């Protein structure tokens, strides 16, 4: 029996669900149509195993996703024959089948009333309660779903799934602080869930971009740096988690702009240093590149990444290559020509920039870090090849950002002056 049917992944891709549902007719024909629940009758019946009922349930879910209602009905009927309609789990599965086969909003309203009737007689029926909340969410009754989840959590405060669900609902309504609180509750229950750490980092990063707080609590920058910590914790727990590295790349890129801009709003002992953020940004860039490269090459051990996430990671890496405007004394080049330079390089970081066979002074104006740094900052550099001596009459505070093959050094100054030293 296929292990993917017994233990399907939490987020089953559509292609895998289709593959499983296509096996339904063959599997149903090989398995017994009924097994007596009594021990004496079971002596003469087919052997009963827990895996059989798990297979029926998972097969039913895959068939509903792919529209094979006939096979799904067969699976459900066999489960009902064995365990009876009063089983709480099967009551929820029956409701799920009715939801999937409903043809109108009126049908969904009828199912919702049936859930209400069941919960009125048995308020502790957890599967049906969760099924009712899911139906409210699918009907876009988010306020009612949040209210129902809050009541559910009052009775079951250690249900991590419920906390994660209410976090999603809060986020859909723009209530990021409540959503963050809910995910923190999830981490109290499952502290090593790397995907939840990354999800919390995403919420913190989003709230840092929408809060706009400039008060004394410095909520925006605080959330930004906290998102970096959450993404870092995510990849610490799972060193090949793509979403963790993707989020770390985004968060550190924004944090570099904040720290490089000299903001003092949130400077405290808990604020990471510029060097630390640079190192994390480089780590995220390198790991994302490795994941994309090896996954595309279909190397062993690098399968299983979501195709959409790989595309997003590749686009993020592609944005790292900027267009830089240059002015050259070489008559073969014109002002306004473009060169490719790595945009992720930061002030003070070693960088090699090849500008072609230019023997005279070439001035490169580069907007680093996604073009977010102001030109009045440290965004001017000079590249000199085949020259000796100094170029530029004034030297201030310079940061070494590269060394040319001919032995010359490439400098960048914080106030935009140009300089070169052999």
Phi/psi region, residue 383 (left: phi>0; alpha: psi -120 to 50; beta: rest), is beta
Helix (H, G, I), strand (E, B) or coil at 216: coil
Task: Please list the ranges in the chain whose pLDDT falls under 50.
Answer: 40-43, 211-216, 322-422
Residue 307 located in a structural domain: no
Write down which residue in 66, 84, 102 finishes a domain: 84
Residue 277 located in a structural domain: no
Instruction: Give how many domains the chain has, as a whole number.
Output: 2
Distance CA 288, CA 285 (A): 5
Token duo for residue 181: 């609180």
Residue 311 located in a structural domain: no
- CA distance between the termini of the chain: 70
- For helices 126-138 and 88-101, give the axis angle rounded to 10 degrees: 20
Q: Which helix (H) or strand (E) holds 367?
A: none
Residue 38 located in a structural domain: yes
Residue 93 located in a structural domain: no
For 2, the domain range is 1-84
Distance CA 16, CA 90 (A): 24
CA 176 to chain centre: 16
Residue 95 located in a structural domain: no
Residue 97 located in a structural domain: no
pLDDT at 237: 97
- For helices 219-237 and 242-260, give the axis angle rounded to 10 degrees: 150
Q: Is there a contact between 399 and 411 (Cβ–Cβ < 8 Å)?
A: yes
pLDDT at 141: 96
pLDDT at 418: 37
Distance CA 342, CA 370 (A): 10
Write down which residue in 84, 113, 141 finishes a domain: 84
Write down which residue in 63, 84, 105 finishes a domain: 84
pLDDT at 360: 31
pLDDT at 34: 62
Residue 90 located in a structural domain: no
Phi/psi region, residue 265 (left: phi>0; alpha: psi -120 to 50; beta: rest), is alpha
CA dihedral angle for residue 144, residue 150, residue 155, residue 156, rounded to 10 degrees: 110
pLDDT at 108: 96
Establish how many alpha carbons lie within 13 A of residue 148's alpha carbon, considering only the half-sphere containing its beta carbon. 23
261-270: long-range pairs with CB below 8 Å, 24+: 261/373, 261/377, 263/221, 265/214, 265/218, 265/221, 266/218, 266/221, 266/222, 266/225, 270/225
pLDDT at 47: 63
pLDDT at 2: 56
Establish how many alpha carbons lie within 13 A of residue 216's alpha carbon, considering only the half-sphere containing its beta carbon. 0
């Amino acid at each position: 029996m296929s292990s993917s049917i017994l233990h399907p992944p939490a987020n089953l891709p559509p292609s895998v669900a289709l593959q499983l549902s296509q096996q339904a007719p063959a599997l149903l024909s090989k398995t017994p149509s009924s097994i007596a629940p009594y021990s004496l009758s079971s002596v003469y019946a087919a052997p009963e195993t827990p895996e059989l009922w798990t297979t029926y349930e998972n097969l039913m879910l895959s068939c509903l996703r792919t529209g094979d209602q006939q096979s799904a009905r067969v699976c459900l009927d066999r489960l009902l024959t064995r365990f009876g309609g009063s089983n709480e789990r099967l009551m929820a599965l029956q409701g799920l089948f009715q939801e999937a086969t409903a043809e109108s909003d009126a049908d969904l309203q009828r199912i919702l009333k049936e859930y209400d009737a069941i919960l009125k007689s048995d308020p502790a029926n957890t599967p049906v309660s969760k099924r009712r909340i899911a139906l409210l969410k699918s009907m876009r009754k988010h306020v009612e779903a949040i209210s129902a989840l809050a009541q559910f959590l009052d009775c079951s405060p250690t249900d991590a799934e419920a906390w994660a669900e209410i976090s999603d609902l809060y986020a859909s309504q723009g209530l990021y602080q409540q959503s963050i609180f809910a995910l923190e509750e999830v981490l109290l229950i499952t502290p090593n869930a790397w995907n939840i750490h990354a999800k919390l980092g995403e919420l913190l990063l989003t709230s840092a971009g929408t809060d706009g707080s400039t008060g004394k609590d410095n909520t925006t920058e605080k959330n930004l740096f906290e998102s970096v910590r959450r993404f870092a914790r995510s990849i610490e727990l799972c060193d090949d988690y793509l979403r963790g590295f993707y989020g770390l790349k985004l968060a550190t890129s924004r944090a570099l702009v904040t720290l490089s801009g000299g903001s003092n709003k949130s400077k405290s002992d808990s604020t990471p240093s510029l060097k630390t953020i640079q190192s994390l940004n480089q780590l995220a860039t390198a790991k994302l590149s490795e994941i994309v490269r090896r996954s595309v090459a279909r190397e062993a051990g690098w399968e299983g990444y979501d195709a959409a996430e790989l595309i997003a990671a590749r686009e993020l890496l592609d944005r790292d290559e900027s267009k830089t405007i240059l002015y050259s004394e070489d008559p073969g080049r014109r002002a306004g020509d473009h060169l490719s330079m790595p945009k992720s390089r930061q002030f003070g970081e070693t960088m090699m920039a090849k500008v072609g066979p230019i023997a005279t002074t070439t001035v490169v104006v580069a907007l680093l870090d996604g073009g977010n740094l102001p030109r009045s900052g440290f965004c001017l550099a000079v590249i000199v090849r085949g020259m000796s001596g100094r170029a530029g009459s004034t030297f201030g505070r310079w940061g070494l950002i590269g060394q040319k093959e001919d032995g010359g050094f490439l400098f960048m100054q914080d106030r935009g002056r140009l300089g070169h030293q052999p």
